[in-house]
Amino acid sequence: MAEVERPQLYLVTPPEIDLEIFPDRLAAVLDSTEVACLRLALAGKDEDRIARTGDALREVAHARDVALVIENHVLMVERLGLDGVHLTDGARLVRKLRKDLGPDAILGAFCGRTRHEGINAAEAGADYVAFGPVGTTALGDGSLAEAELFGWWSEMIEVPVVAEGALTPEKVAELAPLTDFFAVGEEIWREEDAAAALRRLLAPLG
């Protein structure tokens, strides 16, 4: 039996960022483990704050050859020299944005727990599709993206799949054979030592 490839790590920023502190925290995590991509996922719509944060994090990420995408703010991609965009509303805009951003931009889509939405995003040109939450959370309606969805996707669809939302070491162990990426954010940033929290979370990967 072929050995299952270890999923890659996709880091997500916290929704609130203190630019005095966070770039150093981010650098420590990026220096402690291999990260494939970073998502800037700020809350709110303060354009100046988003731009300043994007500039600061781009320097940290690109110095370490880590791609940086931004959540939803498509017009910021070119302006800030970012690598692409992560859409939180499924497949709706993927086809248009693939034309607008060109073939080299990273374009990802969060599709909740919906296989159909994921297929639409993949067919429209998404580079990856994310499903979640995979763990129990008080947010949303309590329904989860189950292991069965990831198993089906990895067997049937070539576009990479991302597991995210309330990850635990148990969920990492369960989904490791079925997903291409784990998107990790609040699970580690709420801890003082984010790099150590990340090591604990991903311990089942060996």
* Residue 108 is assigned to a structural domain of this protein: yes
Encoded tokens for 167: 């990850």
* Residue 2 is assigned to a structural domain of this protein: no
* CA-based torsion, 114, 202, 17, 190: positive or negative: positive
* Residue 3 is assigned to a structural domain of this protein: no
pLDDT at 4: 58
pLDDT at 88: 97
For the entire predicted model, the pTM comes to 0.96
Name all contacts of 124-128 with Cβ < 8 Å and 24+ positions apart: 124/91, 124/94, 124/95, 124/98, 125/94, 125/95, 125/98, 126/91, 126/94, 126/98, 126/159, 127/84, 127/159, 127/160, 128/159, 128/160, 128/161, 128/162, 128/180, 128/181
- Report which of 77, 154, 84, 89 is spatially closest to residue 121, judged by C-alpha positions: 89
pLDDT at 138: 74
Asked if residue 54 lies in contact with residue 76, where contact means CB atoms within 8 angstroms, the answer is yes
CATH number at residue 146: 3.20.20.70
Q: How many domains is the chain built from? A: 1
* Residue 170 is assigned to a structural domain of this protein: yes
Residue 71 per-residue DSSP state: E
pLDDT of 1 > 70? The answer is no
Q: For residues 125 and 110, give the distance between their C-alpha atoms in angstroms, rounded to a whole number.
A: 13
* Residue 27 is assigned to a structural domain of this protein: yes
Query: Residue type at 10?
Result: Y
| pLDDT, tens digit (0-9, with 9 covering 90-100), for 29-43 | 999 999 999 999 999
What SS3 class is residue 50?
helix
| pLDDT, tens digit (0-9, with 9 covering 90-100), for 107-149 | 999 999 999 999 999 999 999 999 999 999 877 778 899 999 9
Structural domain of 50: 8-205
| pLDDT, tens digit (0-9, with 9 covering 90-100), for 171-193 | 999 999 999 999 999 999 999 99
* Residue 102 is assigned to a structural domain of this protein: yes
